Amino acid sequence: MTTDEALRPQSLMLSFLGDQVLGRDVCVYSGSVIDVFGRAGVGEHATRSTLTRMVGRDLLRRQREGRRMYFGLTERSESVLRDGEQRIWEEGAVNRHWDGSWTLLGFSLPESWQRQRHDLRAQLTWSGFGPLFGGLWIAPGEVDVSALVTELGLSAHVKIFRAHADAGMDIGAMIEETWELDELATRYEAFTHRWQHWETSEPAADEALALRLRLSTEWLQVVRRDPRLPVKHLPDNWPAEQAEKTFHTVYAQLTPLARESAERLLDLVPVRPGP
């Protein structure tokens, strides 16, 4: 099996930890991770490098048991994984319950601050905002970006408002002008195309765990790029609903075999309290 080129080892690692470690107070043996990632098409060197980098970034902690090294979660990685869990299982891909509100963020930065402007725009895009006008960005619902703005050191240059559109506003047209809907739709359609055949197919026993790992990682990457625009203002036959159905169906199809495989392949130990 080969991985999709867009699936970085760290993204796969976070999905693996979310599936197998989060909420269980356990650490996983490095050799088990190498085994599973090998089945997912990631080589041993890349897997070991990813584990080392994630320790350095405070996303993993080490725990030695005899001659074996185990890896567990930190507070930081738990927060990242809980956020991903919420995005997949609670918020989902289809926003059917929008309350009509918008978050507006206006900024004015000196011309020389090109790096700060780039960083702010990148973070706003990641948070679901789109550029209504040059220095005015908008996102559906209530989006708290105060910590993001503070971290970038731009609090004095940014103003944030909550608002509702005027009754005569064509929200559908505004959405099409502000966000790249074709690009987003293509991601959903590509996901469905790649995974739909697994709705009725059954993989080999030890392939299921790696396959579900790739499925979850791909799906999270797709939905994280989705600003969760209100579905009633999106084009007809918006492909997110079919893609989400495919994700849930394939995930359920793979889960029994993936659990059996995890029990057989993973060496887990309880977390020991730190010093």
pLDDT digits (tens, 9 = 90+) for 217-248: 999 999 989 999 999 999 999 999 999 999 99
What pLDDT shows up at residue 275? 54
Whether the model clears a pTM of 0.85, i.e. scores above it, the answer is: yes
For the chain, 275 residues long, give each residue's pLDDT as a single digit of tens: 333 445 889 999 999 999 999 999 999 999 999 999 999 999 999 999 999 999 999 999 999 999 999 999 999 999 999 999 999 999 989 999 999 999 999 999 999 999 999 999 999 998 999 999 989 999 999 999 999 999 999 999 999 999 999 999 999 999 999 999 999 999 999 999 999 999 999 898 778 999 999 999 999 999 989 999 999 999 999 999 999 999 999 999 999 999 999 999 999 999 987 65
**What string of H, E and C letters represents the secondary structure of the chain?**
CCCCCCCCHHHHHHHHHHHHCCCCCEEEEHHHHHHHHHHCCCCHHHHHHHHHHHHHCCCEEEEEECCEEEEEECHHHHHHHHHHHHHHHHHCCCECCCCCEEEEEEECCCCCCHHHHHHHHHHHHHCCCEEEECCEEEEECCCCCHHHHHHCCCHHHEEEEEEECCCCCCHHHHHHHHCCHHHHHHHHHHHHHHHHHHHCCCCCHHHHHHHHHHHHHHHHHHHHCCCCCEHHHCCCCCCHHHHHHHHHHHHHHHHHHHHHHHHHHCCEEECCCCC
What pLDDT shows up at residue 6? 55
